[in-house]
């Protein structure tokens, strides 16, 4: 008899406790099962954590979530660090994992001012590239990436963060070289490369009234002119007391009124003191480390843990209220230990923004969400 796990079990070679335990764990519903009638529940991962030898991370992801985003692996700087030098390995591994576990794969992100290599925007002399060159690169890039994953990646963040904190178009290389048309062109190219893909615009601070107004006006025009935009991603990098649920709700309703599907794409709740007035998620923002900004190195006090649970509950109640408009709620990571929030916007802090702790154990906030009445 071959020494497979099934044969070992059949032959009674394993103690019953060992066999029974994983079965019991599997029988407990995870987040995706809990909210299966409301929306997909996703997370962002790296190929490295999925491949971690213990397998605990991969098992948690497969059990708790039914949608997957690559936290970094599908960004231009990671996919094509040098002109013509493609690195597909990590992105391929993540897409494969999603397929193996029947998860919805979301692609993040095609056009962005951050994590796009300098060469993309430069000519051979290192000066700013001209519009024709940048447009050619945009087309080649979108065709290569969307084409490679056609039919396997269900949805794309076609453009990320093109609006600047309520001030209108961000003066990025994209905007400065091409003008605002770089955005609709990206949507048209992505649609041509995979006509069935669900195409999204993604941004942070979408609750800001000026940002909302700017984007509503833009998308209205897109829809009128047949620019293929199907959804909008509200990143959801929030804090314990910002933004207000009212403002967030206004944006969900405004986007849904346009006929766009709404997604919460990068949810985490920062529990640490904010070093700023207006919270941003622009990844180039940095503040210096100061001990006073890092108060919970030895653990999160119960009172703050309760606040965190309450915040997650009120956010989910809002999402549930608008479930007919919401396609997917994706957390930006699994366990607190791997969260980008330990290093943003202040490096080297101990943050607690997610539903699982540093050992991937569900936190009170997880239990609170699992106990919600639907």
Segment (H or E) for 209: helix 209-224
266, 288, 306, 314: the active-site residue: 266
**Which one, of 59, 51, 68, 50, lies nearest residue 30 by Cα?**
59
| Residues 199 and 187 sit within 8 Å (Cβ to Cβ) | yes
Residue 160 contacts ligand XIL per CB under 6 A? yes
**Which one, of 95, 197, 86, 100, lies nearest residue 150 by Cα?**
197
CA quadruple 336, 115, 184, 155: dihedral sign = negative
Among 65, 149, 340, 356, binds ligand XIL (CB under 6 A): 340
Facing residues of 330 across strands? 42
Whether 266 is catalytic: yes
Binding mask 268-297 for ligand XIL (x = CB under 6 A): -------------x-x--------------
> Which residue's beta carbon is nearest to the bound ligand XIL?
340
Report in angstroms how near the CB of residue 367 gets to ligand XIL at its nearest: 25
Report in angstroms how near the CB of residue 114 gets to ligand XIL at its nearest: 7
Report in angstroms how near the CB of residue 248 gets to ligand XIL at its nearest: 17
Binding mask 251-270 for ligand XIL (x = CB under 6 A): ---------------x----
Q: Name residues contacting ligand XIL, limited to 82-141 (CB under 6 A).
A: none
Report in angstroms how near the CB of residue 274 gets to ligand XIL at its nearest: 16
SS3 270: strand
Q: How many residues bind ligand XIL (CB under 6 A)?
A: 8
Q: Name residues contacting ligand XIL, limited to 36-75 (CB under 6 A).
A: 71-72
80, with CB counted inside 10 A (0-12, 13-18, 19+), is: buried
The residue to which tokens 């936290």 are assigned? 71
| Residues 116 and 82 sit within 8 Å (Cβ to Cβ) | no
Distance from chain centroid for Cα 61: 14
| Residues 79 and 127 sit within 8 Å (Cβ to Cβ) | no
Binding mask 219-248 for ligand XIL (x = CB under 6 A): ----------------x-------------
Which residues are known catalytic residues?
A: 266
> Using CB under 6 A as the criterion, which residues of the chain lie in contact with ligand XIL when the complex forms?
71-72, 160, 235, 266, 281, 283, 340
């Amino acid at each position: 008899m071959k020494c497979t796990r099934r044969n070992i079990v059949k032959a009674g070679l394993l103690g019953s406790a060992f066999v029974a335990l994983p079965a019991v764990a599997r029988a407990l519903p995870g987040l995706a099962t809990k909210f299966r009638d409301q929306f997909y529940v996703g997370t962002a991962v790296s190929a490295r954590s999925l491949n971690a030898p213990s397998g605990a991370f991969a098992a948690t992801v497969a059990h708790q979530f039914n949608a997957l985003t690559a936290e970094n692996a599908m960004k231009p700087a990671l996919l094509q660090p040098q002109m013509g030098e493609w690195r597909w390995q990590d992105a391929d591994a993540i897409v494969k994992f999603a397929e193996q576990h029947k998860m919805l794969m979301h692609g993040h992100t095609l056009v962005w001012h951050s994590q796009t290599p300098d060469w993309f925007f430069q000519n051979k002399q290192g000066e700013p590239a001209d519009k024709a060159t940048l447009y050619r690169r945009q087309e080649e890039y979108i065709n290569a990436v969307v084409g490679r994953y056609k039919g396997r990646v269900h949805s794309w963040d076609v453009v990320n963060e093109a609006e600047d904190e309520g001030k209108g178009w961000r003066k990025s290389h994209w905007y400065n070289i091409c003008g605002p048309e770089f955005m609709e062109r990206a949507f048209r190219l992505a649609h041509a490369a995979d006509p069935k893909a669900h195409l999204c615009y993604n941004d942070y601070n979408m609750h800001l009234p000026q940002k909302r107004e700017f984007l509503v006006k833009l998308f209205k025009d897109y829809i009128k002119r047949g620019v293929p935009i199907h959804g909008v991603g509200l990143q959801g990098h929030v804090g314990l007391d910002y933004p207000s649920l009212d403002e967030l709700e206004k944006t969900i309703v405004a986007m849904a009124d346009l006929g766009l599907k709404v997604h919460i794409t990068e949810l985490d709740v920062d529990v640490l003191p904010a070093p700023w007035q207006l919270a941003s998620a622009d990844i180039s923002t940095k503040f210096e480390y100061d001990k006073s900004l890092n108060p919970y190195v030895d653990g999160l006090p119960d009172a703050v843990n309760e606040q965190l649970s309450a915040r997650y509950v009120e956010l989910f109640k809002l999402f549930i209220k608008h479930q007919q408009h919401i396609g997917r709620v994706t957390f930006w990571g699994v366990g607190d230990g791997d969260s980008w929030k330990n290093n943003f916007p202040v490096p080297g802090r101990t943050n607690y923004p997610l539903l699982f702790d540093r050992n991937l154990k569900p936190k009170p906030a997880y239990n609170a969400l699992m106990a919600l009445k639907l």
